[in-house]
Amino acid sequence: MKNLAQMMKQAQQMQSKMTEMQEKLVELEVTGVAGGGMVRVTLNGKSEMRSVKIDPALIDPNDPEVLEDLIVAASNDAKQKVEAEVAEKMKDMTGGLNLPEGFKLPF
Protein backbone atom coordinates (compact mmCIF):
# COMPACT_ATOMS: atom_id res chain seq x y z
CA MET A 1 0.00 0.00 0.00
CA LYS A 2 2.89 2.35 0.65
CA ASN A 3 3.97 2.06 -3.01
CA LEU A 4 0.44 2.89 -4.17
CA ALA A 5 0.38 6.02 -2.01
CA GLN A 6 3.76 7.04 -3.42
CA MET A 7 2.53 6.47 -6.97
CA MET A 8 -0.57 8.58 -6.31
CA LYS A 9 1.59 11.37 -4.92
CA GLN A 10 3.83 11.25 -8.01
CA ALA A 11 0.77 11.30 -10.27
CA GLN A 12 -0.54 14.40 -8.50
CA GLN A 13 2.84 16.10 -8.86
CA MET A 14 2.92 15.23 -12.57
CA GLN A 15 -0.60 16.61 -13.01
CA SER A 16 0.41 19.83 -11.29
CA LYS A 17 3.47 20.17 -13.55
CA MET A 18 1.30 19.46 -16.59
CA THR A 19 -1.16 22.21 -15.66
CA GLU A 20 1.72 24.63 -15.13
CA MET A 21 3.23 23.72 -18.48
CA GLN A 22 -0.10 24.21 -20.29
CA GLU A 23 -0.34 27.70 -18.85
CA LYS A 24 3.19 28.50 -20.01
CA LEU A 25 2.48 27.21 -23.53
CA VAL A 26 0.14 30.15 -24.13
CA GLU A 27 3.13 32.47 -23.58
CA LEU A 28 5.45 30.54 -25.92
CA GLU A 29 5.65 32.07 -29.40
CA VAL A 30 7.21 30.42 -32.43
CA THR A 31 7.51 31.92 -35.90
CA GLY A 32 7.44 29.95 -39.14
CA VAL A 33 8.70 31.45 -42.36
CA ALA A 34 8.27 30.89 -46.09
CA GLY A 35 9.33 32.60 -49.28
CA GLY A 36 12.74 33.50 -47.93
CA GLY A 37 11.20 35.23 -44.92
CA MET A 38 8.68 37.22 -46.93
CA VAL A 39 5.82 35.50 -45.09
CA ARG A 40 5.95 34.96 -41.32
CA VAL A 41 3.34 33.22 -39.20
CA THR A 42 3.59 33.27 -35.41
CA LEU A 43 1.83 30.66 -33.28
CA ASN A 44 1.69 30.23 -29.53
CA GLY A 45 2.54 26.93 -27.81
CA LYS A 46 -1.02 25.72 -28.28
CA SER A 47 -0.78 26.26 -32.06
CA GLU A 48 -3.09 29.28 -31.94
CA MET A 49 -2.16 31.84 -34.59
CA ARG A 50 -0.95 35.12 -33.12
CA SER A 51 0.20 37.06 -36.17
CA VAL A 52 0.83 36.99 -39.90
CA LYS A 53 3.37 39.27 -41.58
CA ILE A 54 3.46 39.55 -45.37
CA ASP A 55 5.98 41.49 -47.41
CA PRO A 56 3.91 43.91 -49.53
CA ALA A 57 5.91 42.88 -52.61
CA LEU A 58 4.09 39.52 -52.52
CA ILE A 59 0.63 41.01 -52.79
CA ASP A 60 -0.43 40.53 -56.40
CA PRO A 61 -4.20 40.59 -56.97
CA ASN A 62 -3.69 38.71 -60.24
CA ASP A 63 -1.87 35.78 -58.56
CA PRO A 64 -3.27 35.14 -55.07
CA GLU A 65 -2.32 31.45 -55.16
CA VAL A 66 1.37 32.18 -54.55
CA LEU A 67 0.58 34.16 -51.41
CA GLU A 68 -1.91 31.55 -50.24
CA ASP A 69 0.67 28.78 -50.66
CA LEU A 70 3.31 30.76 -48.78
CA ILE A 71 0.95 31.41 -45.88
CA VAL A 72 0.18 27.70 -45.64
CA ALA A 73 3.90 26.84 -45.81
CA ALA A 74 4.80 29.38 -43.09
CA SER A 75 1.96 28.14 -40.91
CA ASN A 76 3.08 24.52 -41.30
CA ASP A 77 6.66 25.53 -40.50
CA ALA A 78 5.52 27.27 -37.31
CA LYS A 79 3.35 24.31 -36.30
CA GLN A 80 6.27 21.91 -36.75
CA LYS A 81 8.45 24.16 -34.59
CA VAL A 82 5.75 24.36 -31.90
CA GLU A 83 5.42 20.56 -31.83
CA ALA A 84 9.20 20.17 -31.49
CA GLU A 85 9.33 22.74 -28.67
CA VAL A 86 6.41 21.11 -26.81
CA ALA A 87 7.99 17.66 -27.24
CA GLU A 88 11.26 18.97 -25.77
CA LYS A 89 9.45 20.53 -22.81
CA MET A 90 7.55 17.29 -22.24
CA LYS A 91 10.78 15.33 -22.35
CA ASP A 92 12.26 17.63 -19.72
CA MET A 93 9.14 17.39 -17.55
CA THR A 94 8.83 13.62 -17.72
CA GLY A 95 12.54 13.11 -17.15
CA GLY A 96 12.98 11.36 -20.47
CA LEU A 97 10.13 8.94 -19.82
CA ASN A 98 9.36 7.32 -23.17
CA LEU A 99 5.69 7.70 -23.94
CA PRO A 100 3.99 5.48 -26.51
CA GLU A 101 4.18 6.78 -30.08
CA GLY A 102 1.21 8.96 -30.90
CA PHE A 103 0.65 9.78 -27.23
CA LYS A 104 0.62 13.56 -27.22
CA LEU A 105 0.69 15.64 -24.13
CA PRO A 106 -0.78 18.04 -23.14
CA PHE A 107 -3.22 17.89 -26.07
pTM of the model: 0.72
Angle, helix 2-25 to helix 64-94, in steps of 10 degrees: 150
What is the enclosing helix (H) or strand (E) of 10?
helix 2-25
pLDDT in tens, 15-58: 888 888 878 888 899 999 999 999 999 999 989 999 999 999 99
Number of domains the chain is built from: 1
**21: in domain:** no
For residue 30, what are the β-bridge partners?
43
Interval 92-101: pLDDT, tens: 776 655 555 5
Say which CATH number the domain at 51 has: 3.30.1310.10
Evaluate whether residue 35 is within a structural domain.
yes
Residue 71's domain spans which residues? 29-94
Q: Tell whether 10 is covered by a domain.
A: no
Evaluate whether residue 102 is within a structural domain.
no
